[in-house]
Amino acid sequence: FFILNSCNSTEISESKLPQKENDISELVLSFSGDIMAHDVNFKMKDYNRIYDDVRDILLNDDLTFGNVETPVCEERPLSSFPCFNIHKDYLRAAIEGGFDVFSFANNHTNDQGIQGIDGTIKSFNALKEEYKNKELFSSGLKNKEDEDFKPVLIEKKGWKILFLSITELINSHGKSKHRLYYSEPTKTGREKLLLSIKKMREENPCDIFILSLHLNEVEYGLKVLDSKKAWFKALAQAGIDVVWANHPHVLQDWELSDVELLNEETTNSPSKHKKNAFFMYSMGNFISGQRWKVNYADPAYYREYTGDSIIMQLRFKKIDGILQPEIEAAPVLITNYNEKDAPVIKRFTQEWIETLPEKERAYYLKRLELMRAYLPKLK
Residue 376: the pLDDT is 81
CA angle, 181 as apex, 153 and 112 as ends, to 5°? 120
Tens-digit pLDDT profile for residues 4-49: 333 333 344 444 555 557 789 999 999 999 999 999 999 999 999 9
In the predicted model, is pLDDT for residue 171 greater than 80? yes
Pairwise CA distance, residues 252 & 327, whole Å = 19
Residue 214: the pLDDT is 97
Q: Beta strands 24-35 and 242-246: pairing type? A: unpaired
In the predicted model, is pLDDT for residue 151 greater than 70? yes
The predicted model scores a pTM of 0.91
Residue 379: the pLDDT is 65
Q: Supply the mean pLDDT for the chain.
A: 92
Pairwise CA distance, residues 244 & 259, whole Å = 16
Contact 336, 287 (CB under 8 A): yes
Pairwise CA distance, residues 145 & 195, whole Å = 20
Which positions ≥6 away from 24 have C-beta within 8 Å? 317, 318, 319
What's the whole-number mean pLDDT along residues 215-224? 95
Tens-digit pLDDT profile for residues 48-61: 999 999 999 999 99
The string of DSSP codes covering 224-236 is PPHHHHHHHHHHH
In the predicted model, is pLDDT for residue 144 greater than 80? yes
Residue 264: the pLDDT is 52
- Closest listed residue to residue 378, CA positions, set 370, 13, 353, 266: 370
What's the whole-number mean pLDDT along residues 222-242? 96
Give the residue ranges of DSSP H helices in 112-271. 113-130, 187-203, 226-238
What's the whole-number mean pLDDT along residues 248-253? 97
Residue 273: the pLDDT is 80
Residue 278: the pLDDT is 97
